[in-house]
Amino acid sequence: MDQFRNIGVIGRMGSVKVVETLRALRSYLLSENYQVILEQDTAGMLPGHGLQVASKKLMGEICDLVIVVGGDGSLLGAARELAKSKIPLLGVNRGRLGFLTDISPSDLEVRLGEVLQGEYIEENRFLLDGNLERDGQPLGFGSALNDVVLHPGKSTRMIGFDLYIDGHFVYSQRSDGLIVSTPTGSTAYSLSAGGPIMHPKLDAVVLVPMFPHTLSSRPIVVDGKSEIKLVIGDTNETYPQISFDGQMDIACAPGDIIRITKKPFKIRLIHPKDHNFYATCREKLGWASEITAS
């Protein structure tokens, strides 16, 4: 197990509850003689903190562990920035669902203490890279831990596009777009669009059509090593967009090509020792834990 000494802390902006947890986290880590490094935007929420401050990029070079206080979106952002550094991430949930940020603020010291003493499990989660090309020239790039989504933006018109997997033509489709999701993202936007839940250990990607024009269009699960190519139809009257974890949008034009592949770097996600994916699903998705009499 890794020995964590230099611990980076990132907090979601604009939340009083996050600030409360950040203060408690700072006090606990200092009392246990850990070196604490605050992310530069997070530092602005803790005036007079007296700690070292660093950019996310620098944190990836000097930290042994990064703790993210916020929701899953906060951890997604940290993962995209820190994947290349191979620094393990631990999430403290101050959001809503919390599939990735699974330590509760109410038992922060106990759970964090266990993790810092080596009582944890580690998962490797892969990300997706998306590249946009126009007339053979690169136009935009993004990474996603959850999903890469082709969507109509503010338009209400359907998008026409062709789908290729590993160079093989799959279909032409008219729909509101397509969600290309990792197993991590299968419990997020993909799920709400009718996609399957995939175990995080799977090396697979799911393609989920959004309101397709034909009822025969269904989600497709493919090998995680696949190259997915989307070609925006030349006859589109709208300029669709491609988004990465819902955070960054790149405008597309008719004829553009989007290539989506697995990122070469994985993130290291730390969980408490008793973490269980199916228990998380029961809790977060409201699955029954026993058969009750009617």
What letters, b where the CB count within 10 A reaches 16 and e where it falls short, cover 28-42?
bbeeeebbbbbbeeb
Is there a binding annotation on residue 72?
Answer: yes
- Give the sign of the dihedral formed by CA 172, CA 176, CA 177, CA 180: negative
pLDDT digits (tens, 9 = 90+) for 98-119: 889 889 999 999 999 999 999 9
Q: What is the rounded end-to-end Cα distance, in angstroms, of the chain?
A: 48
With bands split at pLDDT 50, 70 and 90, how would you rate the model's confidence at 1? Answer: low
State mean pLDDT over 69-94: 93
Question: Residue range 62-91: average pLDDT?
Answer: 94
- 117 assigned to a ligand binding site: no
Neighbour tally for 279: CB within 10 Å = 12
Is residue 203 among the annotated active site residues?
A: no
| Pairing relationship of beta strands 257-272 and 88-93 according to DSSP bridges | parallel
User: What's the burial of 97, exposed, middle or buried (CB within 10 Å: 0-12/13-18/19+)?
Assistant: middle
Per-residue pLDDT at 213 exceeds 90: no
Q: What is the pLDDT of residue 294?
A: 56
pLDDT at 157: 85
DSSP character for 123? E
94 is in an annotated binding site: no
Q: What is the dihedral of CA 195, 96, 22, 34, to 10 degrees?
A: -40
> In DSSP terms, which residues pair with 65 in a beta bridge?
7
Task: Determine contact, residues 138/131, Cβ cutoff 8 Å.
Answer: yes
Assigned token pair, 138: 């690169």
Q: How confident is the model at residue 290 (pLDDT cuts 50, 70, 90)?
A: confident
The whole-number average pLDDT for the span 58-70 is: 95
Query: SS3 for 285?
Result: helix
Higher pLDDT, 238 or 171: 171
- What pLDDT, on the 0 to 100 scale, is given for residue 258? 98
Q: What is the pLDDT of residues 226-278, one digit of tens each?
A: 999 999 999 887 889 999 999 889 999 999 999 999 999 999 999 999 999 99
Average pLDDT over residues 157-170: 96
| 187 annotated among ligand-binding-site residues | yes
Q: 147 among the known binding-site residues?
A: yes
**For residue 11, pLDDT beyond 90:** yes
- In this structure, the dihedral spanned by the alpha carbons of residues 118, 265, 243 and 63, taken in order and rounded to 10 degrees, is 50
Task: Tell me whether residue 245 is annotated as binding.
Answer: no
Give the pLDDT score at 184.
96
Answer for the pair 130, 143: CB distance below 8 angstroms, yes or no.
yes
- Is 73 within any annotated ligand binding site? yes
Residue 222's CB is within 10 A of a number of other CB atoms, namely: 16
φ, ψ of residue 33 to 5 degrees: the values are 65, 35
- β-strand partners of 220: 207
Whole-number pLDDT of residue 249 = 92
Residue of 64, 72, 249, 274 with catalytic role: 72
pLDDT score of 154 = 82
Q: What is the pLDDT, as a whole number, of residue 237?
A: 78
The residues with which 215 forms a beta bridge, in sequence order, are none
pTM of the model: 0.92
- DSSP H or E stretch at residue 58: helix 56-62
The reported pLDDT for the residue numbered 45 is 93
The SS3 call for residue 56 is helix
Model confidence at 2, pLDDT cuts 50, 70, 90, reads low
Q: Are residues 260 and 227 in contact, defined by beta-carbon separation less than 8 angstroms?
A: yes
Average confidence (pLDDT) over 8-13: 95
Q: How far, in Å, CA of 87 to CA of 61, rounded?
A: 8
The pLDDT assigned to 31 comes to: 95
Domains by residue range for the chain, with CATH: 6-118 (3.40.50.10330), 128-263 (2.60.200.30)
According to the annotation, is 52 in a ligand binding site?
A: no
8 A C-beta contact, residue 283 and residue 101: no
Residues 6+ apart with CB under 8 A from 278: none
Q: How confident is the model at residue 293 (pLDDT cuts 50, 70, 90)?
A: low
